[in-house]
Structure 1
Amino acid sequence: MQFVDEVTVTVQAGKGGNGCLSFRREKYVPRGGPDGGDGGDGGSIILRADKDLNTLADFRYQRKFRAETGEDGRGRNCSGRRGEDRILNVPVGTTIVDCDTDEVLGDLTEAGQTLTVAQGGFHGLGNTRYKSSVNRAPRQTSSGTPGEQRQLRLELKVLADVGLVGLPNAGKSTLIRAMSAARPRVADYPFTTLVPNLGVVSVAAHQSFVVADIPGLIEGAAEGAGLGIRFLRHLVRTRLLLHLVDPMPWDDADPVDSVRVISRELERFSPTLAERERWLVINKIDGLPDSEEECERIRQALDWQGPVFMISALSGQGVEALAQAVMRWLEEQHEREAEDPEVAREEAARRERMDEEARAHIQSLRASRHDKDDDDDDDDDDHDVEVVYAP
């Protein structure tokens, strides 16, 4: 199934049913009085998080969704039937944004969690409702109100505790295969990973964490180079970043420069994300003749103050020690948040900031691309070649 992590949909809740104008008419009951019933409420549009979904591909071709309209009221004080709600299943980790106001309506982070995004219209009142001591035969009714209509942007961010970042061919997919049961594609050429992959790392009984492998970044990714930075949004929910480095890259580049490239792209995408806890993981040490000396050189050149790990994802050397260290760090973070509510609030505020920065950067990049396409459309085409720009 194709991985789709952002779609725009239009939702229309159902209109409320109209009230009925009716009077009781039976044999030997000449003045039976009003008996018009109320209409039914319109159905609402509800989003529900489904743990069995991992993409928004179902919304790629159907973009408009309507809920059922409430039935009109009838005589003999019969109320109309309420319109059925329209429930749309989305993956866990979906953020719902109102396109018109850019307001974040909600964030579905747990399986089964629901959010009403368009409220159904209220039912109209029948003439029975207007009966009083001074108005014995009312002819007033009210119509049902329209349901809400909204244009929504659904943004999927995978739920993971740890995120892997690095240049293409740094060994991220090999590491996630070594740490978990996930089996992403692995090859000896760049950009093997085209979509995020998730893996569950079991350290011990009842001790596990989720790691996310995103496509590799290159210099200029924040401006759209390579696969761009659209997948970096999946890292805003992580608590820890593992920065993988290939000490022997295929292009003979200096690993120190490679680390600085990724750091700059993270800073351009989201300054808050760039300040996230990040560990340096030097991979493929089994091919280095003097691995200790080279790793120390990289650490000193970067003036790296955080933890540094030396592993070989292919042979498994150092992978278990890395997983154990990650598990201990995550448990310490959970304990701190449980003991101090202020720490939990700071973490929530930090994630909200990263969300806002990521959304703003992606929108500005799209706007600049749109302007560029408009400029290109104004150019004269001397060769009568029709150029079609992909959205």
Structure 2
Amino acid sequence: MTEGNFVDYVKLYVSSGKGGKGSAHLHREKYIAKGGPDGGDGGRGGNVIIRGNKNLWTLFEYKFKRHFRAEHGGDGGKQRSTGADGADVYMNVPLGTVVRDKSTNEILFEITEDGEEKIIAQGGKGGRGNWHFKSATNQTPRYAQPGIPGEEKEIILELKVLADVGLVGFPNAGKSTLLSVVTAAKPKIADYEFTTLKPNLGIVKHREFQTFVMADIPGIIEGAAEGKGLGHYFLRHIERNSTLLFLIPADADDIKKQYDILLDELKRYNPEMLDKERFIAISKSDMLDDELKAELKTELDKTLPVNYMFISAVAQQGITELKDKLWDMLNS
């Protein structure tokens, strides 16, 4: 999937169908001059329904079509004929989609299961025909109910990527390179910051045909929790990852400080993120000789509060051990 095809935020207009009118028909038949009321009910207006689909990974189909309208219900007819119900409109979305009300920014619901259906705009009820209003004192009512109008809403669809492992790190830490090595994904890779502007997903093949999903999240910078840089645009994708892999380059000025900054940004955005399993990979470690690596290891053993590992995606060092470690964390 190319970066341009990954759409994770769209604003849409949805409108359900209005209910059909009830009929005020009076029965007429040969030899029956004054038949009673026999007007049928109006049909229900169509609903707009959001449905989860595990085969979708993006909101791309809503990039160009932004308006969704369900059919109106049919009007009632004679001989108590009920009008046809309006056809429902189904909107398929990836799992992990959050639906918000655009005017209030309130979360209406989330879609997390395949086939899960939620009505976002309820169709109006059809009006009742005049035969419902017949009584001993009013045997020929010449009125019926109109249909109830449908609902109109402006909504926001916001995708939070569902992945097992989320890559967390500063820009240009080597996240895209690692993803390209451990999966078949082909993210954009270049030697400058913010090469990755949208999340990339890849399936990691592990031993004995086992797999898990890894997400390369755009790089975090200090102040991201307040919206600085790409801010909230990508931090929300980390919320759904069960394990966080912090990637810090071996040539960083202070590895412990970088880890603390990253952790602080996650905490300020959503404190619940600190409940997730965490692991640190020291990337680009092929630049270190054995002496430097031993010296750095002695320092990190004293300062880092979580387990870590030296890896190099370019030199293919420590990649198998990293996959083993992540698999154990996911299945512990």
Q: Which residue matches 1:287?
A: 287
1:5 aligns with 2:8: yes
Structure 1 pair 205/128, CA: closer, same or farther in 2 (3 Å)? farther
After TM superposition, the score normalised by the length of structure 1 is 0.78
- Equivalent residue letter for 2:179: I
Code of the aligned partner of 2:295: E
Which consecutive residues of structure 1, in runs of 5 or more, have no partner in the other structure? 333-391
After superposition, give the CA deviation of every residue in 1:1-52 in whole Å (9 maximum; x if it has no partner): 4433222222211110010011121221112221111111000001122344
Q: Residue 206 of structure 2: SS of its match in structure 1?
A: strand
Question: Residues 1-391 of structure 1: matches in 2 within 5 Å?
Answer: 1-205=4-208, 207-249=210-252, 253-289=253-289, 290-300=292-302, 303-332=303-332
TM-score by length of 2: 0.91
Distance 2:214 2:79 in 1: 62
Structure 2's unaligned 5+ residue stretches are: none
Deviation at 1:68, TM superposition (A): 0.8
The structural deviation recorded for 1:103 is: 4.0
Looking at structure 2, the residues matched to 225 and 132 of structure 1 have their Cα atoms a distance apart, in angstroms, of 69
Identity of aligned residues (%): 46
Structure 2 distance, partners of 1:155, 1:260, is: 28
Displacement after TM superposition at 1:305 (Å)? 2.5
Whether contact under 8 Å (1:207, 1:327) holds in the other structure is: no
Per-residue CA shift, 1:322-342, capped at 9, x if unaligned? Answer: 11121122112xxxxxxxxxx
Matched letter for residue 204 of structure 2 = V
Q: Distance in 2 between matches of 1:268 and 1:312?
A: 30
Contact 1:217 1:229 in 2 (8 A): no
- Partner AA of 1:129 in structure 2: H
Residue 177 of structure 1: how far off its partner (Å): 1.7
Distance 2:140 2:195 in 1: 76
Contact 1:43 1:69 in 2 (8 A): yes
More helix as a share of residues: 1
Q: Which string of whole-angstrom CA distances, capped at 9 and with x for unpartnered residues, describes residues 160-206 of structure 1?
A: 01110111221111111222221212222222211101111121335
**Farther off after superposition, 256-265 or 235-244:** 256-265
Q: CA separation in 2, counterparts of 1:126 and 1:224?
A: 56
CA-based RMSD of the aligned residues comes to 2.0
Q: What is the SS of the residue equivalent to 1:262?
A: helix
Structure 2 CA distance, aligned partners of 1:244 and 1:115?
38
Deviation per CA, 1:352-381: give whole Å up to 9, x if none: xxxxxxxxxxxxxxxxxxxxxxxxxxxxxx
CA distance in 1: counterparts of 2:88 and 2:29, whole angstroms? 37
Larger RCO of the pair (alpha carbons < 8 Å, separation 6+): 2
What is the CA–CA distance in structure 2 between the aligned matches of 1:207 and 1:164, rounded to whole Å?
20
SS in structure 1 at match of 2:237: helix
